[in-house]
Amino acid sequence: MKSFITASLLTLGLVSSTWAAGTSSLLEIQQRWAQINYQMEDDAKEAAFNDLAIKAQELVNAEPNNPDDLIWLGIIQSSTAGAKGGLGALSLAKAAKKSFEDAITINPSALSGSAMTSLGVLYHKVPGWPIGFGSDKKAKELLVQSYKLNPTSIDSNYFLAEFLYDDGDYEGAKQHLEKAQKAAPRPTRPIADIGRHKEVDALMEKVNQKL
């Protein structure tokens, strides 16, 4: 089964002292997600992501029409699916799909189209019928829409390039990777930029081997 991929990297950092006290802010959830995803051992990730999903669900329950919260709930659900793996991850992938779809219904431009990007990645990575809901056609539509919405984004270009690479369009993939390499830095997310650029460079190396 193809692996699940989450959305973009976030700045790593210590969780604030309010984390254990009750409801967390979206920033704290983002930071905790990064801690789990990049600093924890693989065998501990699933349980930690499950706990984090509870926090994210609390934000969604408090503001059901906040697309940013829905996007991050979906990202965490996707991350949990990735940590879990196997057919048991499909229910989590379906939950993430709904979170992203709800966010798109409210505001497709939220977080620079991150819901469309993340949903496109899900369609790309999840197996197709009869096992799952994966669809390369839908994946491409969403990833292209996300790119058109934010054509200078490192994330929208990277994930579209990844799809094109897997689809055998190496020239197209290279064009979007070059755009990703030129993306403006995000001052509040330096580690996100470092991590994504490493992924861009790694994929570019694979693309160049095909050309």
Q: Is residue 202 in some structural domain?
A: no
pLDDT digits (tens, 9 = 90+) for 46-92: 999 999 999 999 999 999 999 999 999 999 999 999 898 887 899 99
Q: Is residue 132 in some structural domain?
A: no
- What does the DSSP 8-state code read for residue 152? T
Q: Is residue 48 in some structural domain?
A: yes
- Output the six-digit token pair for 16: 């604030």
Q: Is residue 103 in some structural domain?
A: yes
Distance, in Å, from the CA atom of 111 to the CA atom of 96, rounded to the nearest integer, reads 16
Q: Is residue 199 in some structural domain?
A: no
Q: Is residue 74 in some structural domain?
A: yes
Residue 32 clears pLDDT 80, i.e. is over it: yes
Q: Is residue 72 in some structural domain?
A: yes
pLDDT digits (tens, 9 = 90+) for 94-147: 999 999 999 999 999 999 899 999 999 999 999 999 899 999 999 999 999 999
Distance, in Å, from the CA atom of 112 to the CA atom of 71, rounded to the nearest integer, reads 11
Per-residue pLDDT, averaged over 28-54, amounts to 86
- Domain hosting 26: range is 1-110
Contact 71, 110 (CB under 8 A): yes
Q: Is residue 184 in some structural domain?
A: no
pLDDT digits (tens, 9 = 90+) for 133-183: 999 999 999 999 999 999 999 989 999 999 999 999 999 999 999 999 999
- Please identify which residue in the block is written with the tokens 């996300």: 146
Predicted local confidence at residue 189, as pLDDT:
66
For 7-113, where are the alpha helices, taking DSSP H only?
A: 26-39, 42-62, 67-84, 90-106
State the CB neighbour count (10 A cutoff) for residue 169. 15
Q: What share of the chain is helix, strand, coil (3-state, %, to 5)?
A: 70, 0, 30
Number of folded domains in the chain? Answer: 1
Cis previous bond, 130, omega within 30: yes
Residue 4 clears pLDDT 90, i.e. is over it: no
Identity at 126, one-letter amino acid code: V
**Which residues, 6+ apart, have CB-to-CB distance to 32 below 8 Å?**
15, 19, 24, 52, 55
Per-residue pLDDT, averaged over 24-46, amounts to 83
